């Protein structure tokens, strides 16, 4: 892997990179995907310019899982090596946990399309964004809060890194897969969520491309 490439950290079958892969390719950033949950080996972070860590049913504080420990250690090494990390949902929680913060259990799961209060709307729009999580991020002391809602922090910057609690990468098929496999049907009105997704996705995809492009541009400005 050369230093111009991107690395995608995937943790389960139904949480693929979705739209972020499209944007990486559009910006000439070929990517490699590593399945942490399958024990696949991570490269030396010094050979990676951008790492994107995706969602998971796991919690970033579940250090009983070997792959979670491995990921947190790798992110800390990536920070030292100068790699820029983009964390999406679990990935944002892992980014925070690896660099001095943590996660707490939310009082209630956050599912569906949500709006955020943003301090940087040119990068992180007000939404709606697709949310699907059970935890709340405890930000590292040096993090800059970019967006939040009543559930907690929704986006933050930490040096060259960016974490978002929601899922800008989702496609309608990804949302359908999550609805089909959901174990908390009482917390998710499936038909409403699918209808909301069909309505919101075209505009949400534009916001996601803006977010991903802004992150990539910031990394290139630093290089």
Q: Which of 11, 89, 161, 200 is catalytic?
A: 89
- For the CA atoms of 40, 46, 47, 51, the dihedral, rounded to the nearest 10 degrees, stands at 60
Tell me the C-alpha distance between 74 and 215, whole Å.
20
Q: Is 96 helix (H, G, I), strand (E, B) or coil?
A: helix
Active site residue 203: no
- Catalytic residue (choose from 11, 133, 167, 200): 167
Annotated catalytic residue within 71, 110, 133, 169? 169
161 is a catalytic site residue: no
> What is the distance between the alpha carbons of residues 64 and 106, in angstroms, rounded to a whole number?
20
| Burial (0-12, 13-18, 19+ Cβ within 10 Å), 218 | middle
Known catalytic residue: 40? Answer: no
Q: Which residues are catalytic?
A: 89, 167, 169
């Amino acid at each position: 892997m050369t230093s111009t490439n991107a690395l995608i950290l995937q943790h389960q079958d139904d949480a693929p990179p979705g739209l972020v892969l499209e944007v990486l390719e559009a910006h000439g950033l070929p990517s490699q995907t590593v399945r942490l949950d399958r024990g696949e080996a991570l490269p030396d972070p010094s050979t990676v310019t951008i790492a994107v860590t995706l969602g998971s049913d796991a919690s970033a504080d579940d250090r009983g899982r070997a792959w979670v420990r491995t990921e947190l250690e790798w992110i800390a090494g990536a920070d030292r090596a100068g790699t820029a990390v983009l964390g999406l949902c679990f990935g944002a929680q892992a980014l925070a946990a690896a660099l001095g913060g943590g996660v707490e259990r939310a009082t209630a799961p956050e599912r569906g399309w949500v709006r955020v209060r943003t301090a940087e709307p040119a990068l992180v729009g007000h939404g709606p964004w697709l949310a699907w999580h059970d935890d709340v991020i405890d930000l590292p002391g040096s993090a800059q809060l970019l967006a939040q809602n009543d559930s907690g922090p929704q986006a933050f910057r930490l040096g060259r890194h960016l974490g978002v609690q929601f899922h800008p990468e989702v496609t309608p098929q990804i949302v359908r897969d999550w609805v089909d496999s959901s174990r908390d049907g009482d917390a998710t009105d499936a038909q409403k969520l699918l209808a909301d997704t069909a309505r919101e996705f075209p505009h949400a995809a534009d916001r996601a491309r803006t977010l991903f492009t802004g992150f990539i541009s910031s990394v290139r400005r630093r290089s």
